[in-house]
Every structure is written in structure tokens, then in C-alpha cells.
Structure 1
Amino acid sequence: MTSVANGIRVAIDGPSGSGKSSVSKKVAAHLGIGYLDTGAMYRALTWYCLDRGIDLDDLGVVADAVTAMPLEMGTDPSAPSISMGGTRIDADIRTTRIAEVVSKVATNLQVRPKLQQRQRELMAQIAADQGGVVAEGRDITTVVAPDADVRILMVASEAARLARRSKELHGGADDAAIAATRTQIVDRDKADSTVSSFMSAADGVVTLDTSDLTFQQSVEAVLTLVERARG
């Protein structure tokens, strides 16, 4: 494949808690290539708008902010970072304040094509500069990079996804932690599913169900697909 010669591009989509972020970072680190968290770009835009007092319901103004915001994506899979005009906002975009409203931005149909173009350009730049890229998000396999060398839809049962994200956010998976996590997982997926299909694979996209896989098994499954593409 020509694109492999210019830097392999791996696209991984999936719902929250499927393991796509942690697996993508590990795969990129193993391969010695760059990593791009496209979901963080929607969170960063949300942060930018709130920071500047932009009404998230003003669709056109929010869309204009895509090109205005001075977003910088750190692509080291061992230490990815998100900065806005030189200021790190990694922790800020992961707060409940952002999580509760990011779907307003992610479902803005004027925003999506603009951010998708930025993601497309970033993937090409990272692949060329670092020998490849693993990009993960919602519609990377179908819209942003339908011609990627490896395209994977990573899924998991709702129970598995809730347990994983609950441990990540609250340090455990008891009933209280699961309940506190449910809104962020189920409601976010429900909202995002109105503008993006990430529970069923498009033609040519490999479905990887991680419900019963360990983290390492999930990583190895992706690496096997990458080796096939390279071979």
C-alpha cells in the first residue's frame, strides 16, 4: 500500500469504555508512531467556547470557533497532551463540567466537517512526520480516514464499558460508581449516535469485541491487524 510506505494509518472507532483510547496509545507506543485522540478535540472545542463565553446553542458561532481556537495536540502516545494557545488543558477537558455539555458540540452538524478536516490533516502530518499514526474516535474509519490502512470498530458490552469507565473515573465498579458513570457513558453514546454510527462496522472495517479480552489481548489483536496490513 502506498500509504503504508508514507506512514501507516490506523483508525479505531468505538463507544465510550470500549478500550479504544488505552489500546490505541499502547499500540502506537509499541509501533513507535504517533497517536491522535480525536474525541479530545471535541472536548477542547467545548472548553474553548465555555472559556470565551460562547453559547453552545449558537451553532454557527461554535463552528467558527473550530478554526479560531489555537489548539495544539501532543501526539506522543506515552504522554499525549492537549494545549490551547500554549496552556495545557488536559485535566480541564476531562471534568464533569465538560462531559455534561460536550455532546452539544459533538452533535453540531456545522462543527463536525470542520473538525473532521482538521483531524484528516493532523493524521496525514503525524503519519508523515512519525512514520505512522493511530487515530481513535467516533467516525475515523468512515469519514475522517475511510482509506486508512487498518480500520477497526472496537466494541464491548454495556456492562463491560460501564465497569471500565467507572474504575477509571471513580476508582471502583460498585453500584454507586456504576450509577455515577452511566449518564456519561450511555447518554453520551445515545446523543452521539444521532450524528455518527459507531456500534456497527462499515464495509471493510474489522469489528473487535473486547468484552471478554484482557487489555493485553486487545492490544495484540490490533497489532496482528497492523502486521497484516504491513505484510
Structure 2
Amino acid sequence: MGQGELRGVVALDGPSGTGKSSAARRLASALGASYLDTGSMYRAITLAVLRAGIDPADAPRVAEAAAAARLVVGTDPAKPSTSLDHEDVATEIRGREVTLAVSPVSAHPAVRELLVAQQRRIVAEALDAVGGIVVEGRDIGTVVVPDAELKVYLTASADARAQRRTRQDSAAGRAADLGATLADVQRRDTHDSTRAVSPLRAADDAVELDTTSLDLAGVLSELLALVEERGLRVLPEPSGRTT
């Protein structure tokens, strides 16, 4: 991947079901930028904890499992990947068991410190390689990259987010129940926004974007407009002129 059109970091934060992942991937692809799903990293560590039979509330053992895990994430938006101990776990980390445990695991300070360091390294490498990266998560604009050139906080009603998550689960062949998904969404909102370390919140200088009534194309259009407004898009030089 050569130099893309994006210069700098676009940080997309917000709760589950706001369309962050799809919008972030589309935006990165449109701009020839790298893409980082930080949520997949926390999910992979959660899977490592569960596979080891560790109670997600057991802070010392969770920290040990996180430190021992060999985690690799791909940053190509066309084919993002998540590998745990040399195994592709991209599908498994989206299962219900991981979804139920990821908030308590990711709340441990040792886990967040470890992964934030990895995320910052990935961001730096992407900026050196292609010039820009779109990073999505829950604390990107507030903790991971507080100096990001553009910070966007995506929101949507709980009902809309639950419906989206249910459709995604159904499309992926996972068991889907709207009532259970809504309960999961509300539980994660409460847990993530009230945790002591890196709580879910909008950065003071973030642009808030309500996606309740927007489809993916609409969200992408809004994001591209913000990138243009900030002057973060550098179009390639014409290869030559004809006279």
C-alpha cells in the first residue's frame, strides 16, 4: 500500500451499534488509509482470558493472560484481520460469550495500558507508511490519540443500535434476538461509560454525529465532508498533461 490521500488520524469513537466499524473501514478505503479496529484487540484478549478459564474479574490473572497473548491485527481496510497466538479469531471474537465478557476484561487498567501502547505503535507505523489512519473504538480521541486531527463521536438511539447489531448477527449466522441484544447494548453502555479507566465519552473537541437516521452511505458522506473541511485530504498529483 502506497501513500494514500488521508494525512493524519481520524478517530471514531462511540458505543456499540453506531456503525463505527463499517463507516471506519469505508472511510479508510475511500482515502487509501490504514484502518485499526481497537475493539477487536480487546475482544481477542477477552477470548484469551476465557480460553484460559480465567474469571474476567480476576485482575492479576487477566493481566497475565493479556501479557502472554500473541496478538496481531491487520490494518488493511479491505481485509482486516485479528490473530491470537497465530490463529485467525476474527469470527470467534464476535460470539456472544466474548461479547458478554469484553467490558469487564477491558476495564482492567493493565489490559488498557498494554493495548493502548500497542495501538499507538500501530498508528505511528501507519502514519509513516501511508500517511493516514482511521482508528475506531471507545477512547481513541480521549486517550489513544488525543491529538488526532479529526475526532468524531458517533451516537444513535439504543433501539436503532440493537436493531443493527441483530441484523449483523443474523447476517453472520450468529444467534440473534432483538430483546437480548438491546439488553446487551444497554449493559455495555453503562459498563463502558462508568468504568474508572478510560470511560466511554466524547472528547471535548469531537464532532458528534447522530447516525440513528443515517444509512452507511450517509455516515460515510458526513465523514468525508469533515475530512475535507479539516484539509486532511491530499489528492494525488496529475500524472501528466495533454495539450
Instruction: Establish whether TM, by shorter chain, passes 0.5.
Output: yes
- Offset at residue 78 of structure 1 (A): 1.5
Local SS of the residue matching 2:73: strand
Could you say which residue in structure 2 is the equivalent of 1:39? 39
What are the within-5 Å matches in structure 2 for residues 63-142 of structure 1?
63-142=63-142
Partner of 1:207: 208
Correspondence 1:163 to 2:160? no
C-alpha distance in structure 2 between counterparts of 1:134 and 1:182, whole Å: 28
The structure with the largest alpha-carbon Rg is: 2
Distance 1:54 1:181 in 2: 25
Letter of the structure 2 residue corresponding to residue 110 of structure 1: A
Question: Contact between 2:12 and 2:24, CA under 8 Å: does it hold in 1?
Answer: yes
Structure 1, gaps ≥5 residues long: none
Q: CA RMSD in A?
A: 2.1
What amino acid is aligned across from residue 97 of structure 1 in structure 2?
Answer: E
The letter of the residue matching 1:41 is: M
The amino acid that maps onto 2:204 is D
CA distance in 2, matches of 1:31, 1:150: 14
**Number of aligned residues:** 223
Q: TM-score when scaled to structure 1?
A: 0.89
For residue 220 of structure 1, what is the aligned residue in structure 2? 221
- State the shift of 1:7 in Å: 4.3
State the identity as a percent: 42
- Give the partner amino acid of 1:151: K
| Counterparts in 2 of 1:230 and 1:64: CA distance versus 1, 3 Å | farther
Q: CA deviation at 1:94?
A: 0.8
1:7–1:128 contact (8 Å) kept in structure 2: no
State how far apart, in whole Å, the 2-side matches of 1:113 and 1:210 are: 30
Q: Say whether 1:10 aligns with 2:45.
A: no
Instruction: Output the amino acid matched with 1:23.
Output: A
In the aligned structure 2, how far is the partner of 1:53 from the partner of 1:127? 38
Listed as ranges, the gaps of 5+ residues in structure 2 are 233-243
2:154 pairs with 1:189: no
Specify the code of the residue in structure 1 equivalent to 2:200: F
